[in-house]
Amino acid sequence: MPATMPARVPDASKKPEEKKVARRGIVLRGFIRKAEDGSYEGICLTLNLPVRGRSIDEADQKLRDLIVAYLRDAAQDGTWNEFVPRRAPLSYYAAYYWYSLLAALHAINDFKLFVESAPDCMAHA
């Protein structure tokens, strides 16, 4: 007779949504670029979250704060599977790869590219 595995006891200290967030890794991609009006616009392509700031650092901080708030809300509301990921339109991905190429050729300034994992962002949640 084969041995049976003991049943796993769920961790009662975590909500089901929190466990789902902790288990599921997601890669966040996006960029921040200088707009025609001199401001900086950023977008998280994975979640389709746009921001605008007066400097590249301000746009970066706004984008990080927005990502953390969005993921926290999706986890708490139980809408994670529905809204994560929520991809940006294809034109933004084309811009992302275009700017990546220009950055690699050192043909562009005032641009920031990011590729990060969501669990790092969720560490503050």
Q: Is residue 5 part of a domain?
A: no
pTM greater than 0.75 (yes/no): no
Q: Is the dihedral of CA 113, 119, 123, 125 positive or negative?
A: positive
Domain that includes residue 90, residue range: 25-122
Task: Identify residue 53 by its one-letter amino acid code.
Answer: G
For residues 110-121, average pLDDT = 77
Helix 16-23 × helix 56-77 angle, to 10°: 130
For residues 45-63, average pLDDT = 96
Is the pLDDT at 32 greater than 90, yes or no? yes
Q: Is residue 98 part of a domain?
A: yes
Q: Is residue 70 part of a domain?
A: yes
Question: What is the tens place of the pLDDT at every residue in 86-96?
Answer: 999 999 999 99
Q: Is residue 54 part of a domain?
A: yes
